Structure 1
Amino acid sequence: MAYDEFLADRVRQVLKEKKTPYREQKMMGGLCFMVNDKMCIGVDTEKTTGNARIMARIGENVYDNALKQKGCSEFNITGKAMKGFVFVSGEGIDTHKDLEYWVQLCLDFNPMAKASKKK
Structure 2
Amino acid sequence: MAYDEGLAHRLGEALGALPGITAKKMFGGIAFLWNGNMLVGVIGDDLIARVGPEAQADALAQPGARVFDFTGRPMKGWVVVDGAAVSEDSALDDWIGRCREFVEAMPPK
Fold-level similarity (TM above 0.5): yes
Q: Is 1:106 aligned to 2:99, yes or no?
A: yes
Once the two structures are TM-superposed, the CA of residue 3 in structure 1 deviates from its matched residue by 1.0
| Equivalent position amino acid for 1:12 in 2 | G
Q: Distance in 1 between matches of 2:105 and 2:56?
A: 14
Match in the other structure for 2:7? 7
Output aligned runs, 1:1-119, within 5 Å.
1-16=1-16, 19-21=17-19, 22-45=21-44, 52-113=45-106
Distance 2:65 2:107 in 1: 23
Give the length in aligned residue pairs: 108
**Larger CA Rg, structure 1 vs 2:** 1
Offset of 1:112 from its aligned partner?
3.3
Cα distance in 2 for partners of 1:64, 1:114 equals 24
Unpaired segments of 5 or more residues in structure 1? 46-51
Instruction: Say whether the 8 Å CA contact 1:69–1:92 is kept in structure 2.
Output: no
Displacement of 1:113: 4.1
Return the letter of the residue paired with 1:75: F
One-letter code aligned to 1:4: D
TM-score, reference length from structure 2: 0.90
TM-score (norm: length of structure 1): 0.83
Match of 1:48 in 2: none
State the 1:68 CA deviation: 0.8
Take 1:5 and 1:78, find their aligned partners in 2: how far apart are those partners?
23
Helix, strand or coil at the partner of 2:75: coil
Taking every aligned residue pair, what percent have the same amino acid on both sides? 36
Please give the secondary structure, in 2, of the residue aligned with 1:99.
helix
Runs of at least 4 residues off by over 2 Å: 111-116
Q: In structure 1, how many angstroms separate the alpha carbons of the residues matched to 2:92 and 2:69?
A: 21
Unaligned runs of 5+ in 2: none
